[in-house]
Copies of this chain bind each other. A is one copy, B any other.
Amino acid sequence: MTDNAASLTIIDIARLSGVSKSTVSRVLSGAENVSEEARRKVTEAVEASGFRRNELARSLRSGRTGMVGLLIPDIANPFWAEVARGAQDAATEEMASVLIFNSDWDPERERRHLMALTQSRVDGAIVNPVQNGLDELSRSQVPLVLIGSSAERFPELPSVGSDITQGVQLGLERLVQAGLGMPALLVGDPHRTARERFVGAVREFGAAHGWPVEALRLQDGHYTIEGGREAMKRLLQGGVPRVVFAANDMMALGALHAVREAGLNCPEDVAILGFDGTPAAEVSMPGLTTIMKPSRDIGRRAFELLSRKIAGDEDVPHMSLPCSLVERGTLPTREGPRVVRGEERTAT
């Protein structure tokens, strides 16, 4: 094996195997119309020399890089890490790779990374938009798939998100089965569309089940453990609720702390249901029962949709992936731990 295999070109291989560079190219890209003889000679030369085709040149010529961009708020956030992993898995299967950028929920960074993306000539991009003006990308013709609830602001673009309405229903049904009534709600940032969706779904379900929704108790708080603990404390001051449903796991975990600190027991005195599916929810005592968002699947499906769009498919749909219920210890027991899933929905 040659040592500086890196600098070998297809011309060297052509010389080594006594054919033209076109033939080498054909063999390399697995074309059919090549004689066995030629294929063998080329293959041998390639293996003997350790040659690797220069993907850069190939991309320049073919216009395809085999790379897609992924623009998310923060890879260090477990939810987004799962999404990224899903996208990578799908990409790997199609021999593609993923370029990841973090926006930190900052429109300016988002804009800059969007530019970097288009310049590096990715074949397409998956983005969780934090701003309204997606001009940069939509103008630059890069095939795009949106992820997350904020995607709804761009109905013209394909998207995949979690079906939070279905998730809420799943949780609420679990509550009625356990004989619990309407939960008090712990919710986060009032500006996110996710919050409205969450509360709306609870109201709807409640109305359909004869709950006194006008008396629904809502406590706002910051989207963190501390925020959840404090919101729960405030809630407790207005009377101990039999069950609380938090819009995210961190707040639910904080609520669990607050319940304990108030000298109450979970799930005996107050039951808690979370929403997210963060790994951290597994380690609390008791473990948090929660509605899990299909994070990894979101990434995977987003890549698949993007793939279709890159291939020229005109009407790539909006997808809503079902949440699942993961039973741990913060709700009164039913028949033991299990996972309930919903069905995937697609709309164009």
Q: Which residues of A contact B (CB under 8 A)?
A: 1, 3-6, 50, 52-57, 59-60, 65-67, 74-76, 78, 81-82, 84-85, 88-89, 92, 95, 97-102, 115-116, 118-121, 139-142, 225, 253, 256-257, 260, 279-285, 296
Q: Which residues of B contact A260 (CB under 8 A)?
A: 285
What separation, in Å, do the CA atoms of A78 and B225 have in the docked complex? Answer: 18
CB-CB nearest in chain B for A116: B97
Q: Which residues of B contact A116 (CB under 8 A)?
A: 95, 97
Q: Which residues of B contact A256 (CB under 8 A)?
A: 285
Q: Which of A60, A81, A82 has the most CB of B within 10 A?
A: A81
CB-CB nearest in chain B for A261: B285
In the complex, the count of this chain's copies comes to 2
What separation, in Å, do the CA atoms of A98 and B89 have in the docked complex? Answer: 17
5 contacts between A and B (CB under 8 A): A5-B139, A67-B99, A100-B100, A253-B283, A283-B283
Q: Which residues of B contact A50 (CB under 8 A)?
A: 139-140
With A78-B78, A82-B76, A280-B282 as contacts: A97 and B97 at CB distance below 8 Å: no
What separation, in Å, do the CA atoms of A332 and B82 have in the docked complex? Answer: 36
With A75-B84, A81-B78 as contacts: A56 and B59 at CB distance below 8 Å: yes
Return the contact of A60 from the options B1, B57, B82, B92 (Cβ within 8 A).
B57
Q: Which residues of B contact A120 (CB under 8 A)?
A: 55-56, 66-67, 97
Nearest Cβ distance between residue A182 and chain B, in whole angstroms?
A: 27
> Does the CB pair B100–A6 fall under 8 Å?
no
Return the contact of A98 from the options B52, B78, B99, B257 (Cβ within 8 A).
B99
Return the contact of A81 from the options B75, B88, B257, B281 (Cβ within 8 A).
B75
Q: Which residues of B contact A102 (CB under 8 A)?
A: 85, 88-89, 92
